[in-house]
Amino acid sequence: MPDPNPRTERLHALDSLRAIMMMLGLVLHSAVTYGDLDLGSAWSLKDPDTTSQWFDLLSGYIHAFRMPIFFAVGGFFGALLFYERSPRAMVMNRVKRLVLPFAVSVFLLWPVVVFAWTVTTATMKGSQAPLAVGLGPFTTLASLVPSNTMHLWFLLYLIFFSAVGYVIALLFQRLPGRSAQIRTLYEMFMYVPWLRPLLFAGLTFGLLAAMGEPWPEKTGGILPTWAAFLNYGSFYLFGWLLFGSKHYIPGLDQFAWSLTVVGAVVFFTKAIAQSRGLDGLLLAAANALVVWLFLFGICGLFVRYFSGHSPRMRYVSDASYWFYLIHLPLTALIPASLMGTGLPVLVKFVIVLGATTVICWASYAYLVCGSFVGVFLNGRRFEMG
């Protein structure tokens, strides 16, 4: 593991990238209700009146890069805390910013999410008293105890990755030779800008092939599956190692547009082929290529356009944590109010996304920003300017 000495200036591009990836959760969860695909327990809400395959494409497009980029950025900032502050400071920060918000949010949000889900499900099935049905699951105190982590699974995985990264980093501090070898190998992969996505895609494909899955997904349970843990953990590791080679970050804007556009072309080609039966190793190879094209392309775009300090983007960055926590019950409940309206599917999606965004913004601006909740989530009160 790297042990760089220079103090890192605040990387506004990565702050902005993390914030926008969080905000995209609103788009993703507003879209899936109106897609054609049956996602089973991952998202059981499906509007029986109006759906469209275009929303499957939209949600699939966002899902192709959102979480890998999240974990890569998380790995980078985890390494920054470990090496530039101290191992102890990393632990304290991760407890304050991840463990405590997760523990509080999972208990507070569980009954809200269950109520929203139950009401919308009842409405979609034609119930005449959906609100009463929504209260049905809460018959005992035990029903208030979460049985899964909902959308907060990302925080839980990040907690596990942080703990594993901490232990491994301590070990490699005692093995400087091995650490130098890993850094040299990493920089060999990073050396040629246009070749990076292909080399890292090869590593991801090897991992997927070894696991025998085209793309292992998470579960909402308390413990992660090994396949999903290794898959997403590899992106956390990439971000951790990037901190030791952060001199490459300014150059990530090379070929950024080209990589992003090629990633989109490969994604839509893969989607068409998948609808016609693409599976197995070919699908795994396509998934691996898509994710790394997007990761380098989108990261490069943020380096190009968001590297300067912006009070507005800093405000968005702070607000994004609140958005991430509270948006899910809104995107689950609001579709119930649109049932039977006869509105086109695109209009319904826009209403759900717009209403969710407005509620999140208003609640953050008037209830959270500058309050103890804002301090709890972000470690400080935000002041514009």
| pLDDT tens, residue by residue, 113-127 | 999 999 999 999 988
**CA nearest to 127, candidates 135, 119, 116:** 119
pLDDT in tens, 272-321: 999 898 899 999 999 999 999 999 999 999 999 999 888 888 899 999 99
How is residue 357 written in tokens? 């965004």
Residue among 280, 272, 286, 348 nearest 120 (CA): 348
32 within 8 A of 275, measured Cβ to Cβ: no
Mean predicted lDDT score pLDDT of the chain: 91
Whether residue 3 has pLDDT greater than 80: no
CB atoms within 10 A of CB 234: 17
Identify residue 295 by its one-letter amino acid code: L
Mind listing the pLDDT tens digit for each residue in 343-382?
Answer: 999 999 999 999 999 999 999 999 998 889 888 888 765 5
What is the pLDDT at residue 4?
46
The contacts of residue 6 (CB under 8 Å, 6+ apart) are none
Q: Which two tokens stand for residue 280?
A: 């197995």
Distance CA 26, CA 272 (A): 25
- Taking 60 as the threshold, does the pLDDT of residue 385 lie above it? no
- pLDDT of 310 reads 86
Q: 148-195, pLDDT tens digit by residue?
A: 899 999 999 999 999 999 999 999 888 888 888 999 999 999 999 999
The pLDDT of residue 41 is 76
> In whole angstroms, what is the distance from residue 78 CA to residue 358 CA?
32
Radius of gyration for the alpha carbons in the chain, expressed in angstroms and rounded: 21
Contact 159, 102 (CB under 8 A): yes
Token representation of residue 337: 């109010």
One-letter amino acid for residue 111 of the chain: P
Record the pTM: 0.92
H/E element, 85: none
Q: What is the DSSP letter of 279?
A: -
pLDDT tier at 383, thresholds 50, 70, 90: low
The CA–CA distances, whole Å, from 221 to 42, 51, 347 equal 12, 29, 34
- Residue 70, SS3? helix
**Distance separating alpha carbons of residues 101 and 95, to the nearest angstrom:** 9
The model's pLDDT over 254-273, given as tens digits with 9 standing for 90+, comes to 999 999 999 999 999 999 99
**The pLDDT value given to residue 382:** 53
- Side chain identity at residue 275, one-letter code: S
Nearest Cα to 169, choosing from 66, 86, 280, 293?
Answer: 86
How confident is the model at residue 136, as a pLDDT?
Answer: 85
φ and ψ at residue 309, rounded to 5 degrees: -70, 135
